[in-house]
Structure formats: C-alpha cells, structure tokens
Amino acid sequence: MQRVLYFTPVIGSYAMKRFEEEAKKMGFGFKAIQYKHISLEFNKKAEFKYKGKKIDLKKSDIAVLRNPKFKDSKDHVFFDILLNHLNSLNIKTTNVHLFLNLGSARDKLFQYYLLEKNNFPIIKPTYFLNSNYLLAEKLKNINSSFIVKPRNESRGVDIFKIENRMDFIERGKDYLARDILIQKFIPNKFDLRVICTRKKIIGTMSRSAKEGSVVNNFSAGGSIENYELKDKKIIKDCLEICKLFQCDYLGIDIILTGKKYLILEVNFFCDFKGFERATEVNFPKEIFSILK
C-alpha cells in the first residue's frame, strides 16, 4: 500500500480533506502533518519529530507539500532541510526539484526574470526598485495606471491600483520598496488560471473580479467558469514553463490581449477549490497520478 504524507499549514482545510478523500479511494494510507508542529532534533542523528514524536519518514512513499506560508528566510531554510531529507529518502515529493534547484522562484521577481530571459511574454513595464529613494523617483514619472503587488505570494491580497505618485503615498505608505513590484495595469474582463504538468493541461478556468476589485482571484471573491483552452501556442508555452521551473505541476495565470497573451505569475501551491468547482477536474487524483 502506498503511504502519503500531507504537509499543510492548516488541519481540516478543503485541500487536505480532498487529498485525504482521494487517497482513501485509491487505497493509500494518509497522514496529515501541520508544519508548525514539526521539529528537527540532533541527538545520535538528525530526527524530524511531529508534536514531539519521531516521524518515521522511511515508511512513506509520497509527500504532498501545500503552501507553508513563509514568513521570513528562517522558514525557507527549515523547509529546504525538510525537502532535502525527503528527497534523500527517495520519497516522491510534489515540485521538489523546483525548490531544491530554483528556490528563488518563490519570489515573483525571480519568476519574471526567468520567464523574460526565456522569451515568455510578461507584462511590461514591471519595476523592482531596491530602495525607497528609487521608488520615489520612479513614481514621479508614472502617468498611467499601475498595479502594486507583493513580491511573495498574495492570493489576491495586498494588490492595488495606482494612477500616480499621490495614490501610492496614500495607499502604499507602509510598504518597503524592496518588498513590492510595480506593474503596468492591463484592463481586462477576466484572466485564466491554467494548471498543467510537463506533459498536459489538467484544466483551465476563467476568473472575473468582483465589482470594485482589481484582482480576479476566486479567493478574493472573483467569479469562475470552466474555460476550454484551444490556443496551441499557449498550451505549448504552459508545458514549457512547467519544465522550465522543474515542476511536477504548475498553476499559470495569464491574461489575453487580443491575439496574444501575457503571464501574470506562476503558482507552485495551487489552491484548487474554485478550480475543481469550475472544471470538474479531480485535482488530487491528477497529482497522485504524477507521483505514484
């Protein structure tokens, strides 16, 4: 029997329940582990413990990693140690090669750099200003709509639109320049969330912002529908982007602009409640099929 370890920030979430449900259907053993209760102890040898008891990782075959919601660099280090240990035991772990080889991709700034370097279409201009002085100077010259977004994951939170320098002073005064990106605002009625593996598109949904919002995320109240993705170039590029980031699966957010498209960002820990509702795709089953 295959045994699944499910690492999660929250016990009882929709994602956890769905993975547990699907694991049982497939005859897999399932154990959920909350990140905050994991410890690492160095006695005779390094040991991971969960709520004070040793975790016998060698008995596991599959590890599903959900978003640990990093707070600072110390969290990244502990997560990387855990990943290295799982990998050393040959446990099939979701997106492990991305985090081991391209850990900086957790940051949207690195995502945009890697995408642009490999000739994938990102929104331009996008600015990263490494000091508040540089940010202030750039804002003097902004005379059209821009989006301000955190460099790290946001799920649609802390993203807002500015029209000029005074808008930012009013809404973004508590932000440090090095923590944000400023990106040209592209008017749109919807965007697309494409979830794919290296070999196929799992499914696509369209997302439309609720009234008064500038983000289309389902988690931010956006409406969703299934979307039949037919554009061969977008399909090909999505599969190539999944390979570029060395992912087992990847969520790619894109916006259509006439006959072309632009990449908003990529997601390594896709939320999938809205995705399953819109597409009727069994997301956990797809992930298990990649790993088993």
* The total number of structural domains that make up the chain: 3
pLDDT in tens, 45-99: 889 999 999 998 989 999 999 998 766 666 788 899 999 999 999 999 999 999 9
Is residue 201 domain-shared with residue 283, that is, in the same domain? yes
Range of the domain at 147: 126-184
Q: Among 112-121, 130-139, 254-263, whose mean pLDDT is lowest? A: 130-139
> CB under 8 Å to 90, separation ≥6 — which residues?
none
Is residue 131 domain-shared with residue 70, that is, in the same domain? no
Q: What is the pLDDT of residue 216?
A: 60
Query: 186 in helix, strand or coil?
Result: coil
Query: 272 in helix, strand or coil?
Result: coil
Query: 171 in helix, strand or coil?
Result: helix
Of 204, 202, 192, residue with least CA distance to 254:
192
- Looking at residue 148, which CATH number applies to its domain? 3.30.1490
Within a domain: residue 99? Answer: no
CB atoms within 10 A of CB 173: 7
Give CA–CA dist 202/101, Å, rounded.
Answer: 24
* Sheet containing strand 92-93, strands side by side: 29-34, 3-8, 62-65, 92-93
Is residue 163 domain-shared with residue 220, that is, in the same domain? no
Q: What is the pLDDT of residue 220?
A: 57
Within a domain: residue 158? Answer: yes
User: Is residue 104 predicted with pLDDT exceeding 90?
Assistant: no
Within a domain: residue 45? Answer: yes
CB atoms within 10 A of CB 292: 12
State the amino acid at position 62 in one-letter form: I
- Which tokens is 222 given? 């956006």
- Looking at residue 253, which CATH number applies to its domain? 3.30.470.20
Q: What's the mean per-residue pLDDT of the chain?
A: 89
Is residue 160 domain-shared with residue 198, that is, in the same domain? no
Give CA–CA dist 63/91, Å, rounded.
Answer: 7
Q: What is the pLDDT of residue 214?
A: 63
Q: Where are the beta strands (DSSP E) in 151-229?
A: 160-162, 180-184, 191-197, 201-208, 223-226
What confidence tier does 151 reach under pLDDT thresholds 50, 70, 90?
confident
What confidence tier does 145 reach under pLDDT thresholds 50, 70, 90?
confident
Tally the residues of the chain. 292
Q: What is the DSSP letter of 66?
A: P
Give CA–CA dist 158/210, Å, rounded.
Answer: 16
- Looking at residue 60, which CATH number applies to its domain? 3.40.50.20
Are the C-beta atoms of residues 24 and 254 closer than 8 Å to each other?
no
CB atoms within 10 A of CB 214: 17
Phi, psi angle pair for 215, to nearest 5°: -115, 145
Is residue 141 domain-shared with residue 243, that is, in the same domain? no
CA distances from 241 to 112, 153, 216 (A): 12, 18, 22
